[in-house]
């Protein structure tokens, strides 16, 4: 490594340390962070590597980002890993993804950092669309962390927000038809309680990587007043400084919640 590269690294670390201090010292803290992890395939194509390797690097990146979230003491962390639309991808690519989810969930469940920080692992989505071995891994991760409450790490698998809301509407309609729920009793709280995220606060900040500026059927109800942050960085290339920049941007915005 040359002198200029070493100086670049030193400067980069100094900038990161400054951002970290600013984030920690700011009065407005992120309580619930959500990330749309996008760009594994484009990262692989750009890097001229197999798509499966891009997905594996993306999995390893998630493990690093979880470390940063714990370091920043953000109690709720939710990631969009697989949408219902993603299930239309080629079967060989889906098999790679499913094996990574199986491996990743079991690794997380056995990771000492998860237990030291008392992180509850929570999976939401249409589990019936996933292979049995992935569901077995979900059961394993959730069972091993079910008694923890300091942090909650939620992974959205085979998830679609419109489907989630339809399920909630059907539940409300059924209770109304049976006489258990009056028309005047149907409000925002009733809807929220019937979503997959019933026990979770709404996201404060939602980050999407890879340069796409859309929310792609992710937490549509829950994101009503979330702050959105888009970055051109592909998910496998996402760095700690990128996360800190997003949080500092959030902290500098005046949240009005529609007022």
DSSP 202-250: PPSEEEE-TT----TTSSTTTTTT-EEEE-SS-GGG--HHHHHHHHHHH
Instruction: Work out whether the CA dihedral 22, 37, 201, 124 comes out positive or negative.
Output: negative
Sheet of strand 119-124, all strands in order from the earlier edge strand to the far edge: 119-124, 151-159, 76-83, 32-36, 205-208, 227-230
Catalytic residue among 9, 31, 38, 204: 38
Contact call for residues 218 and 161 (beta carbons, < 8 A): yes
Residue 241 confidence (pLDDT) above 60: yes
Residue-averaged pLDDT of the chain: 95
Whole-model pTM over 0.75? yes
Contact call for residues 42 and 210 (beta carbons, < 8 A): yes
CA atoms of 228 and 221, how far apart (whole Å): 14
pLDDT tens digits for range 31-83:
999 999 999 999 999 999 999 999 999 999 999 999 999 999 999 999 999 99
Question: Is 135 assigned a catalytic role?
Answer: no
Question: Is 38 assigned a catalytic role?
Answer: yes
- Judged by DSSP in three states, 200 sits in coil
| Domains of the chain and CATH, by start | 29-248 (3.40.1180.10)
Catalytic residue among 31, 40, 73, 86: 86
């Amino acid at each position: 490594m040359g002198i200029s590269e070493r100086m670049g690294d030193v400067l980069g670390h100094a900038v990161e340390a400054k951002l970290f201090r600013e984030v920690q010292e700011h009065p407005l803290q992120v309580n619930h962070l959500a990330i749309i992890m996008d760009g594994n395939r484009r990262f692989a194509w750009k890097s001229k590597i197999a798509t499966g390797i891009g997905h594996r690097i993306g999995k390893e990146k998630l493990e690093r980002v979880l470390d940063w979230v714990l370091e920043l003491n953000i109690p709720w962390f939710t990631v969009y890993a697989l949408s219902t639309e993603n299930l239309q991808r080629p079967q060989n690519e889906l098999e790679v993804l499913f094996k990574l989810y199986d491996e990743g969930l079991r690794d997380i469940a056995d990771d000492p950092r998860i237990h030291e920080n008392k992180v509850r692992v929570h999976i939401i989505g249409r589990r019936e669309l996933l292979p049995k071995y992935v569901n077995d891994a979900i059961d394993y991760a959730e069972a091993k962390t079910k008694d923890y409450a300091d942090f909650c790490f939620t992974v959205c698998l085979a998830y679609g927000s419109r489907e989630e809301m339809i399920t909630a509407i059907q539940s409300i309609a059924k209770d109304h038809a049976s006489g258990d729920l009056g028309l005047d009793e149907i409000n925002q709280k009733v809807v929220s309680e019937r979503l997959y995220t019933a026990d979770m606060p709404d996201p404060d900040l939602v980050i999407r990587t890879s340069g796409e500026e859309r929310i792609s059927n992710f937490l549509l109800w829950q994101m009503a007043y979330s702050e959105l942050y888009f970055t051109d960085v592909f998910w496998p290339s996402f760095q700690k400084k990128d996360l800190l920049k997003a949080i500092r941007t959030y902290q500098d915005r005046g949240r009005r919640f529609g007022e």
